[in-house]
Amino acid sequence: MIILETQTEVKADLKLLEEILTALKVTKDIELLLVENSVIEDLNREYRGKDAPTDVLSFPLQDIKGAPLGSIVISTDKAKELSQKLGHRVNDEIALLFTHGLLHLLGYDHECDSGEMRRLEKELIEKFNLPDSLIVRSEGI
């Protein structure tokens, strides 16, 4: 189940996001926060030492019985900007960002793995007809 906190006017397609959870066989709750650039910029500065807004951040939680798997924070400003620039729906961008953040919560890391995260993200993108992955965009492929 997704525990949603929306701090913006953008609404997520929770049905689609729940389907992504099901496809990955995630049984723990996920906290999803939809925020403006200023909020994610503060988090990015505090936790990653980067003084700029980003599109998505993931915060895994300790493996404590009953606790959510973790939190995913998405900038709806970035989601709107990217969806307009790339010509797809904001909800598709949010689903893509959610997928990327969720894979990080599950322990995948495209910066140091052997392509496992990229392959799984690609499978999910195809299954749910989402835009190109963040990994592909950042690699300029």
Share of residues in the chain with pLDDT > 70 (%): 94
Q: Identity (one letter) of the amino acid at 1?
A: M
**For 25-68, what is each residue's pLDDT tens digit?**
998 999 999 999 999 999 999 999 999 999 999 999 877 777 88
Residues 6+ apart with CB under 8 A from 36: 7, 8, 75, 76, 77
Domains and CATH numbers, the chain: 2-139 (3.40.390.30)
What local confidence, expressed as pLDDT, does residue 141 receive? 38
Specify the residue for token string 């995260």. Answer: 117
Nearest to 104 by CA among 94, 92, 116: 116
**For 92-112, what is each residue's pLDDT tens digit?**
999 999 999 999 999 888 777
Q: How far is CA 55 from CA 16, 23, 40, 62, 127, in A?
A: 19, 23, 8, 24, 22
Quote the pTM value. 0.89
What local confidence, expressed as pLDDT, does residue 137 receive? 59
Contact 63, 70 (CB under 8 A): no
3-state secondary structure of 13: coil
